[in-house]
Amino acid sequence: MLEVGTKAPEFTLPDKTGAPVSLSDFRGKKVVLYFYPRDNTPGCTRQACAFARSYRDFERSNAVVIGVSKDSAASHLKFAEKYELPFVLLSDPEHKVIEAYGAWQEKKLYGKVSMGTVRCTYLIDEQGVIEQVMPKVKPDDNAAQLLACLRKNQ
């Protein structure tokens, strides 16, 4: 995981429509950058829906929400449409950005070890510096935790 106070690695990835989106596009705003394993799975859906329910609160805090997984842009489009997700979803099938942010890690499931995306979140400030690191977040609590951080810093 990256550390608080370090410059967030710059990236450009396709969004759910295939359009390129860069971290630098959001300079001047706080960025909630969350990494999740997969579209349409129970935990990832709960997490995304929690961000969607709180989206207006994030906007009022001058923050954008960006979700990143290794799913395709087409998968993100279906996921966003199905659950009415108003925020940016980025596709990282080669997991370059996921790795750059330390979210590609060894995982164990039923005794089997494999590499995959771990659920974690970064809060990046208006200048692109990491302000908060949240490793191993819980899908149901993540959005509320970030809103509390944003409100505390206002």
- Of 9, 29, 26, the C-alpha closest to 101 is 9
Q: Which helix (H) or strand (E) holds 53?
A: helix 42-53
120 carries an active-site annotation: no
- Of 83, 78, 100, 81, the C-alpha closest to 13 is 100
Task: Choose the catalytic residue: 44, 49, 120, 149.
Answer: 44
Q: Which helix (H) or strand (E) holds 127?
A: none
Active site residues: 44
